[in-house]
Chains A and B, each alone.
Chain A
């Protein structure tokens, strides 16, 4: 079983890297981009019996800093 964890900065938290990417896209002539948010994807290869509840606990305790980041777990 695999799990994919998507970690993003929370709405309202300024994302300087995403903003730099947006600027670069604009400079390259891609004018149809209103905003960019940059996050990360963490793939977990789970042992049998490790379920979503445990993955969420991993997110809370390590994978995301819930002060500034939100996360989404995708199982399978």
Chain B
């Protein structure tokens, strides 16, 4: 099983994500944004956190039009797995692979702390290692994590059980306190909190390790 981690100018969680994937037994190849193809045999694409292209225009907007992004979209459309964290989530909404948009935090401040999250669904390769309703702790570090959906999309996401994580208490103004959402085929997850910063014993939480090991298990079975 093989993951590709995309590196954009301004990505800064790419190596952390690679470490988390490798820790779960997944081979990783780093892919530069100017590449036009993913490595052969890529099962999973990681879109890392950071500040791609300096957050110019809108967070993730320029990255979503990078050469590699076409390959990313084709991979997802073929049913491949994609994990977008923080800026990676913003990139995925900008490509249209995930619905909604991420706006400036309601309190206008950059928020950097570990927060409790509720696991809303275990029906995905990313979350099947948790129990439904379980509280997990992941760090967040973002200025634009305020998830905007609108009532129709919110109802659709809930109706299809596609809300993966919610903030246990309101954090950034997100509608429905949504912290992470799944695609319709449940193989693309975008979330603002950083599970890759909650895997090692030197981290304040190790709750993220379950996500990566569950994902590795799903890839091994595939």
Contacts and interface: CB of A to CB of B under 8 A. Distances in A.
A65 B61 contact: yes
B181 to A, nearest CB: 13
Contacts of B57: 62-63
Contact of B61 (A13, A17, A20, A62): A62
A3 B93 CA distance: 27
B24 interface: no
Given A62-B65, A65-B58, A65-B94, A17 B148 contact: no
Contact of B104 (A16, A62, A65, A67): A16
B108 interface: yes
A16 B148 contact: no
Interface in B95-131: 99-101, 103-108
A16 B93 contact: no
Contact of A13 (B58, B106, B108, B148): B148
Interface string B54-69: 0001100100010000
A20 B105 CA distance: 12
A14 B101 CA distance: 12
A25 interface: no
A41 interface: no
B175 to A, nearest CB: 10
Query: Which interface class (under 10, 10 to 19, 20 to 34, 35 or more) fits A?
Result: 10 to 19
A68 interface: yes
A57 B175 CA distance: 30
B100 A67 contact: yes
A67 B100 CA distance: 7
A13 B61 CA distance: 19
Given A67-B93, A68-B103, A16 B61 contact: no
Contacts of B105: 16
A65 B93 CA distance: 10
Contacts of B148: 13, 67-68
Given A62-B65, A67-B100, A16 B94 contact: no
Interface of A: 13-14, 16-17, 20, 61-63, 65, 67-68
